[in-house]
Homo-oligomer: A and B are copies of this chain.
Amino acid sequence: MLQHSEAALHVKTLCLAILSMGDASGYEIKKLLEGPFSHIHEASFGAIYPALARLQEEGLVTCEARSQEKRPDKKVYGLTQSGRFELIKELEIVPGADRIRSDFLVLMLYAHLLPPAHIEKVIEHRLQIYGALLSDLTRGDGPPVPTGEESCGEFVRGYGKAILTAALQYIEDNRHLVEGAAFLAGSSRKSAEIDDKEERPAGVAAE
């Protein structure tokens, strides 16, 4: 009973926000969240579709089914008056601190438990990802960054750029701190078969 009587997904607000910029289908929302919005918030299909369905039940969005030829049917959602009102109500809440789960930083904190070669590879990988993300943001590529207002979008994009730039710079300048770390830890431990189980629990695919 915090906000609604019914279960309230966070993704619901996100969907409202995105729809405030124009009609979209669930699939399109997901694609936006992978592209220009990736550094802000993420969501999976399994979160988005139910969220949209519930928003429709609540009368916050309308849904128009468009049957396309040579392509599966589409459900295009649009914001209603009360949807817009609800969005503004949500945005008025003073946001708390960002939620961060950085598996990378946890690893760095315990870098001395692993062989330096492995740490080097992880760092190289990270530099690559961040570099790619940064150049995506720098040249305004992808979908033409759909923002409600020019300058707000510019602010958010710039923020991402600033953080990424700082992170890249810092990692390059200080990687020796973790790469040089001891690895004296497991005295009797054999670390022969480290063949990199690649796993990505987080969104942003490293393309």
Which residues does A use to contact B, with CB under 8 Å?
10, 13-14, 17, 20, 39-42, 84-85, 87-88, 91-114, 118, 121-122, 125, 129, 147-149, 151-156, 158-159, 162-163, 165-167, 169-171, 174, 177-178, 180-182, 185-186, 189, 191, 194, 196-204, 206
Residues of chain B lying within 8 A (CB to CB) of residue A39 = 100, 105
Residues of chain B lying within 8 A (CB to CB) of residue A166 = 162-163, 165-166
A69 CA to B166 CA, complexed, in Å: 49
Copies of the chain in the assembly: 2
**Chain B nearest CB: distance from A11 CB in Å?**
10
A93 CA to B125 CA, complexed, in Å: 13
Determine if A178 and B152 form an interchain contact, defined as CB atoms under 8 angstroms apart: yes
Determine if B104 and A147 form an interchain contact, defined as CB atoms under 8 angstroms apart: no
A79 CA to B204 CA, complexed, in Å: 33
Contact among B14, B42, B109 for A148, CB-based, below 8 A: B109
Contact among B95, B108, B149, B174 for A104, CB-based, below 8 A: B95
Determine if B100 and A113 form an interchain contact, defined as CB atoms under 8 angstroms apart: no
A122 CA to B94 CA, complexed, in Å: 6
Residues of chain B lying within 8 A (CB to CB) of residue A106 = 13-14, 17, 40-41, 91, 95
Quick one: given A99-B202, A158-B174, are A113 and B197 in contact (CB under 8 Å)? Answer: no
**Chain B nearest CB: distance from A134 CB in Å?**
13
Closest B-chain residue to A114, C-beta based?
B91
